[in-house]
Structure 1
Amino acid sequence: MFDCFTPNNDPYGEHDFGGFTDPEAGRVFWKIDYYDTDYRYGSDNPADPTVTRHVLTVMLASEY
């Protein structure tokens, strides 16, 4: 579980981005985006699961 949120890596307190170091892969980032139900636009209300779809992206830092 990632729980190392600080004002530097989470300035808005949303807890939707993080990173860790994997011994083999190196630095890895993850982020959560909040889309409308058609996955076309950002959700109008990310806290409402009836109008929001969550998408988790995991990537190597070198891909960022």
Structure 2
Amino acid sequence: MPEVDAAKIRALNDHARRSFTGCRVVITQGVQAMSDVPSILDLVRWFDAFTPDNDPYGEHDFGSFSYAGETVFWKWDYYDVDLTMHSPDPSDATVTTRVLTIMLADEY
């Protein structure tokens, strides 16, 4: 198993999250039912409240915020390019499909 390169993973995660390119984005039914999905997507894109408590590995792979009285979570999962199992190396974009899931906390 390759050694984890948190800086590369963080850079790939941040780029994909800010641009919604190089990844798949999944929005749950709860988020989709909210009145202003574009604003929620913008809050995910520009999230920067990372701390050692919510980002202990420095990969920028999870975030949460409040919107319209709801707690919204977003998180990364890393799959191989066929989406059949975990990625063998999340720091290598050539062998990884990033999936960003945006959900309400109560859907987790």
| TM-score with structure 2 setting the length | 0.55
5+ residue gaps, structure 1, are none
Higher helix share: 2
1:52: which partner in 2?
Answer: 96
Number of residue equivalences = 63
Letter in 1 for 2:103: M
**How far is 1:46 from its partner?**
1.0
5+ residue gaps, structure 2, are 1-45
**How far is 1:4 from its partner?**
0.6
**How far is 1:62 from its partner?**
1.0
| TM-score with structure 1 setting the length | 0.89
Higher strand share: 1
Which 4+ residue blocks in structure 1 deviate beyond 4 angstroms?
Answer: none
Separation in 2, partners of 1:10, 1:49: 21
Separation in 2, partners of 1:17, 1:40: 22
**How far is 1:10 from its partner?**
0.8
Separation in 2, partners of 1:51, 1:20: 30
SS at match of 2:100: strand
Separation in 2, partners of 1:33, 1:20: 19
Separation in 2, partners of 1:62, 1:45: 30
Separation in 2, partners of 1:41, 1:8: 28
1:16: which partner in 2?
Answer: 61
Separation in 1, partners of 2:63, 2:100: 11
CA shift digits 1:10-56 (9 cap, x unpaired):
111110100111115x1000001111011121111112111110001
SS at match of 2:91: coil
Residue identity (%): 62
